[in-house]
Amino acid sequence: WAAAGKRITTVEGLSEGRELHPLQHAFLAEQAAQCGYCTSGILISAAALLAKNPRPTEREVREALDRNLCRCGSHNRMVRAVLRAAQE
C-alpha cells in the first residue's frame, strides 16, 4: 500500500488542458519516442527529476532514467529531450 494517501500523476496528467507539457514537446522535437512502450514511464521519471532539480546535468538525467529501459535505442535522444525541456 505504498501509494495509499499519495498523489499519483500519470502521463495523461502531465499536461494542462490541451497544451502539451514541455517534456512532451521536447520528446517530439528530439524524436525521442519510438514504439511508445517505455515513454510514459520515462516522461513521469523525467518530470519528477525536473520538479526536484530544474537544471539537471546530463549525468543526473541518466541516473534518474536508469530504472527505465528503452529497447528501441532512443535512450540518448530521451536524455537530450529532458535536457532540452530543462532549458526551456
pLDDT recorded at residue 63 = 97
Find out whether 33 and 27 touch, Cβ atoms under 8 Å.
Answer: yes
Give residue-wise pLDDT tens across range 63-83.
999 999 888 889 999 999 999
C-alpha torsion sign, points 40, 45, 51, 54: negative
pLDDT of residue 34: 86
Residue 48: what pLDDT? 97
Q: Which amino acid is at 1?
A: W
For residue 49, the one-letter residue type is L
On whether the CB atoms of residues 85 and 43 are closer than 8 A, the answer is no
> Residue 35 carries which side chain, given as an amino acid letter?
C
pTM comes to 0.90
β-strand partners of 16: 19
Instruction: Tell me the pLDDT of the chain (88 aa) as tens digits.
Output: 788 999 999 999 999 888 999 999 999 999 998 888 999 999 999 999 999 999 999 999 999 999 998 888 899 999 999 999 999 8
